[in-house]
Amino acid sequence: MEKELANYSAGRPILSKDHRVVQAIAMKAKTDGKGAGFKYPEAADKTWPQFWDFLKSVQP
């Protein structure tokens, strides 16, 4: 998580395949009003297949 948070802060892609890391950083980016790139966005499907649809529907 620390490595990926550093990537996020530097504007680099998130490389983790861990669904928890992907979801947490995506939610942080949403609340920060920033974008984030994910190499493995499908990792979120492991526990929440509708995660990206949900995130799009939420206001920051």
Quick one: pLDDT at residue 59? Answer: 82
- Percent of the chain exceeding pLDDT 70 equals 98
- Summarize pLDDT for 23-44 with one digit per residue, the tens: 999 999 999 999 999 999 999 9
pTM of the predicted protein model: 0.92
SS (H, E, C) 15-59: CCCCHHHHHHHHHHHHHHCCCCCECCHHHHHHCCCCHHHHHHHCC
Structure tokens at 20: 């928890």
Per-residue pLDDT at 3 exceeds 80: yes
Task: Give the pLDDT band (50/70/90) at residue 18.
Answer: very high
